């Protein structure tokens, strides 16, 4: 005598459908990720440690001397210049498909990747640009802790649907 078992998976199917719909336009999730990453990136300028866990190279004495000579005082922290622009002008954007943070400052990539003395030629007086080697100081990126926080944020975004709380 054949027997059959019927499963009613309508709640599970509905939860999966709703989760898929939430992921179709995940703008709220990506906005949360942008906000987190902006804060994490700004904190790096306080700690002087990149997302790879490495401390930033200190400023050279010649840079410190130049700042003093120009009247900028003691700007000892790496990547903190007279205008503090790089640390203040980290921006982010989010849409339905993703999140991004960065800086539009012309020198932001050089600060991230470094540059050799003279990598950009010379100025009108024939002086090297940059006038000395700029060490790479990774200020932009995702650390292991950031990655975990992003996973937790995504989990929080989907949990109400998958736990059938929405």
Q: Assess if residue 2 is contained within a domain.
A: no
- Is pLDDT above 70 for 6? no
Least confident of 9-18, 61-70, 152-161: 9-18
d(CA 58, CA 38): 23
The domain of 96 spans: 10-162
Q: 26-30: long-range contacts at Cβ-Cβ below 8 A with a sequence spacing of 24 or more? A: 26/96, 26/97, 26/157, 27/94, 27/95, 27/96, 28/157, 29/153, 29/154, 29/157, 30/94, 30/95, 30/96, 30/97, 30/98, 30/99
Q: Is residue 111 part of a domain?
A: yes
Give the mean pLDDT of the chain: 90
Q: Which residues, listed in sequence order, are joined to residue 134 by a DSSP beta bridge?
A: 115
Residue 3 lies inside a defined structural domain of this protein: no
Length of the chain: 166
Give the pLDDT score at 123.
Answer: 94
Is 105 within a domain? yes
- What pTM was computed for the model? 0.81
Give the number of domains in the chain: 1
Q: Give the tokens for residue 124.
A: 């009108």
**78 in a domain, yes or no?**
yes
Residue 55 backbone dihedrals phi, psi, to 5 degrees: -70, 145
pLDDT one-digit tens code per residue, 118-159:
999 999 999 999 988 999 999 999 999 999 999 999 999 988
Is there a domain that residue 5 lies in? no
Look at residue 19 in the predicted model and tell me its pLDDT: 76
């Amino acid at each position: 005598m054949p027997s059959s078992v019927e499963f009613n998976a309508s709640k599970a199917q509905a939860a999966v459908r709703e989760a898929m719909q939430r992921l179709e336009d995940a703008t709220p999730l990506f906005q949360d990720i942008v906000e987190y990453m902006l804060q994490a990136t700004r904190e790096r300028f306080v700690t002087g440690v990149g997302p790879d866990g490495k401390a930033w190279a200190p400023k050279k004495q010649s840079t410190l001397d130049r700042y003093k000579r120009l009247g900028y005082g003691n700007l000892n922290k790496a990547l903190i210049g007279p205008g503090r622009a790089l640390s203040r002008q980290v921006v982010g954007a989010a849409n339905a498909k993703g999140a991004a943070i960065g800086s539009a400052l012309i020198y932001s990539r050089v600060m991230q990747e470094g540059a050799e003395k003279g990598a950009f030629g010379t100025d009108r007086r024939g002086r090297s640009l940059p006038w000395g080697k700029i060490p790479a100081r990774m200020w932009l990126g995702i650390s292991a802790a950031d990655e975990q926080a992003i996973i937790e944020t995504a989990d929080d975004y989907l949990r109400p649907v998958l736990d059938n709380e929405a």
